[in-house]
Amino acid sequence: MKVLVAVKRVIDYNVKARVKADQTGVDLSNVKMAMNPFCEIAVEEAVRLKERGVATEVVVVSIGPKAAQEQIRTALALGADKGVHVETDVEVEALAVAKLLKAVVEKEQPGLIILGKQSIDTDNNQTGQMLAALCGYGQATFASEVTVSGDKVEVTREVDGGLRTVALKLPAIVTTDLRLNEPRYASLPNIMKAKKKPLETVSPADLGVDVTPRLKTLKVVEPAKRSAGIKVASVEELVSKLKNEAKVI
């Protein structure tokens, strides 16, 4: 079975994000970029499936500027077999990403598609769900355990009330949550092998997808600074403030 994993190049989780002076977005110049942590978990899961003999090939796909090849190489160094780079400098929205991925799915015909549940830059949590709808496949989001048996995959999902286990027919879409696994470090031999693994580049036009944004960002601002609190003298004062100033009771 072939497993397709989508990975995204995002601002590194260690970086303190700053808004551009003109409020058009987050300042990404001179900022360390990395693979989205949820996507790392997706790659790790796919590689483990391969090590268990469940998957035969792991294909990793990324959509973004030329530099996104760094993240594909990282995935190849972690054990993926082949990379597909959909090169575009447009800031692609979730729906366009899902459409591009659908085109890659049609081409690659994977038995299982694993994505991160969301990317830490825009936190949309949409792509996996949209892709499932577009492909007509079953979806299991927020996975904390994935077991493939025959033509089925059993997925334990992290939901508000606890854990819910679902069984899906393959091909299916799985999106990863934090507790699914702990990604490994890339080994030196695999880093060196990564450069020899195939990496195919295509454009959105090749895949027949229009990636023109449909949404317009009006402005991006930093969250308001939390101002200092005050000490109240009595319970009465606290109740009065909650009632009259905060208006929460």
Partner 1 sequence: MADYKAPLRDMRFLLNEVFEVAKQWETMPRLSETADPETADAILEEAAKISQSLLAPLNRSGDEEGCRWENGQVFTPAGFPQAYRTFIEGGWCGLGGNPEFGGMGMPKTIGAQVEEMIQSANISFGLYPMLTAGACLALDAHGADELREKYLPNMYSGIWSGSMCLTEPHSGTDLGIIRTKAEPQADGSYAVSGTKIFITGGEHDLSDNIIHLVLAKLPDAPAGPKGISLFLVPKFLVNEDGSLGARNTLGCGSIEHKMGIKASATCVMNFDGAKGWLVGELNKGLACMFTMMNYERLGVGVQGLAAAERSYQNAVEYARDRIQGRAATGPVAKDKAADPIIVHPDVRRMLMTIRAMNEGSRAFSTYVASFLDMAKYADDSATRVNAEALVALLTPVAKAFLTDRGFDSTVFGQQVFGGHGYIREWGQEQLVRDVRIAQIYEGTNGIQALDLMGRKVAANNGKFYELFANEVAAFIEANRENPALAEFIAPLSAAIERLSDVTEHVLNQVKSDPNAVGAASVDYLDLFGYTSFAYMWARMVLVAKSKVEGDTSGFYDSKIKTARFFFSRLLPKTMALAESVKSGAADTMALAAENF
Q: Which is nearer to partner 1, 187 or 203 (CB)?
A: 187
**Nearest by Cα to 177 from 162, 147, 157:** 157
- Interface with partner 1: number of residues (CB under 8 A): 15
Interface mask toward partner 1 for 10-29; x: CB under 8 A: ----x--------------x
73 binds partner 1 (CB under 8 A): yes
- Least Cβ distance, residue 39 to partner 1 (angstroms): 16
Residue with the two structure tokens 């009595």? 234
Q: Is 182 or 245 the residue whose CB approaches partner 1 more closely?
A: 182
Distance of CA 113 to the CA centre of its chain: 12
33 or 166: CB nearest partner 1: 33
From the list 20, 66, 164, 195, which residue makes contact with partner 1 (rule: CB under 8 A)?
A: 195
What are the distances in angstroms from CA 99 to CA 16, 59, 63, 138, 207?
A: 31, 17, 11, 16, 9
* 190 CB-near residues (< 8 Å, 6+ apart): 76, 77, 78, 79
Please report, as a single letter, which amino acid is at residue 149: S
Binding positions for partner 1, 200-239, rule CB under 8 A: none
Question: Least CB distance from residue 30 to partner 1, whole Å?
Answer: 4
**39: its two tokens:** 């996507």
Binders of partner 1 in range 150-189 (CB under 8 A): 185-189
* Residue closest to 85 by CA, chosen among 137, 30, 10, 9: 9
**By CB under 8 A, is residue 80 in contact with partner 1?**
no
Contact yes or no for 100/217 (Cβ under 8 A): no
Shortest spacing between CB 16 and partner 1, in angstroms: 13
Q: Which of 17, 191, 199, 220 binds partner 1 (CB under 8 A)?
A: 191
Q: Which is nearer to partner 1, 52 or 193 (CB)?
A: 193
Report the alpha-carbon angle 173-146-156, nearest 5.
Answer: 90
Residue ranges in contact with partner 1 by CB under 8 A: 14, 29-30, 73-74, 77, 185-189, 191-192, 194-195
